[in-house]
Chain A
Amino acid sequence: MENRPLAIYGTPLSSRLLVGTAQYPSPAILAEAIKASGAEIVTVSLRREAGASRSGESFWSLIRELGAKVLPNTAGCRSVKEAVTTAQMAREVFATSWIKLEVIADDDLLQPDPFGLVEAAAILVRDGFNVLPYMTEDLVLAEKLIGAGCEVLMPWGAPIGSGRGLNNPFALQALRRRFPHVPLIIDAGIGTPAHAAAAMELGYDGVLLNTAIAKAGDPVSMARAFALAVEAGRLAYCAEPIPPRDMAEPSTPQLGRAFADLPRRA
């Protein structure tokens, strides 16, 4: 199968790994990790400034220096109104119409509120945004989001920061098969590079992760490991892996075995 390059909202991408910018031990490690990851898209947010520090400014200059495309998020937004207003603010500050849309319902799982998500997506699409919705793996939700004008979907692997990997690979596979032509990016819950490779082997177009790199013992090495895993998973998917079987099938030919006609020793 041809390994066709990825394009999101008309922007061609060489890297299928997208990374978040939160929770790194230091700005220097953040910068090194992003470089090691090869990511061309990084997520950012808007927040109230803590205290009198102007840390927001240095963060923003650092991100601009790295040259990555920013994808602002509406993290923490609990309502359609909050998400839409946050998106509008982000568009002005970050000068991009791309928005990672999060409308969150629950404190424990930080699960998307599917109803608010569809409503906010429709409003933002009409207002000219390129929406990348953070969603569950629900097929009906996917259909509604596409119907609302989303051209990319970002289903969770597992709850944000949980590091569990792909909690429901069967549902993710069904989603992939149902919408073969929509760019699908696994977002949230990834813990190790094996999870990322698994996502790519399912045929997903990319993986977005943050905690698994930022809070690893060595974020820079882990970023590189993830880059390799995403590339490996993609190559593997396009190379058409063998299907799984329950019974054995010898890989070495049976014909020409030595000792073939002698009775087996007891």
Chain B
Amino acid sequence: MNIEVNGKRRDVQAATLAALLEELGYEDRLVATALNRNFVRAADRQGTELKAGDAVEILVPRQGG
């Protein structure tokens, strides 16, 4: 299905947020996730289903002031 990941539209196979992280190569990374602007805890990713048009943010630790 077609969803938005970090501001870019793309087609993905994954049906859940956890599967999406695996599909995109993040499964062993320290990341934070949000779905449609709502925080999704790591523990809840398995149970979070994706639908077409969803906007997902996958964020990593970065420099900041």
Contacts and interface: CB of A to CB of B under 8 A. Distances in A.
The answer to whether A and B come from one shared complex is yes
Interface string A163-203: 00000000000000000000000000000000000000000
A23 B63 contact: yes
Q: Considering the complex of A and B, which 6 residue pairs feature the smallest CB-CB distances, nearest first?
A: A45-B64, A56-B60, A20-B65, A210-B65, A89-B32, A88-B39
Contacts of A93: 30-32, 59-61
A70 B47 CA distance: 30
Contact of A211 (B32, B61, B64, B65): B65
B41 interface: yes
B61 A94 contact: yes
Interface of B: 6-7, 29-34, 37-39, 41-42, 57-65
Given A46-B59, A93-B31, A73 B39 contact: no
A126 interface: no
- Say what secondary structure dominates the interface of chain A: mixed
A261 to B, nearest CB: 65
**Interface size, A (range):** 35 or more
Contacts of B63: 20-24, 30, 44-45, 59
A72 B63 CA distance: 10
A22 B65 CA distance: 6
A43 B64 contact: yes
Given A75-B65, A81-B37, A93-B61, 15 more contacts: A22-B65, A24-B63, A46-B60, A46-B61, A48-B57, A56-B60, A59-B63, A60-B60, A73-B64, A73-B65, A89-B33, A89-B57, A93-B32, A93-B59, A94-B61
B32 A92 contact: yes
Nearest to A93: B32
B21 to A, nearest CB: 12
Interface of A: 20-24, 30, 43-49, 54, 56-57, 59-60, 63, 72-73, 75, 81-82, 85, 88-90, 92-94, 160-161, 210-211
Given A46-B32, A89-B33, A90-B32, A59 B61 contact: yes
A49 B64 CA distance: 14
A23 to B, nearest CB: 7
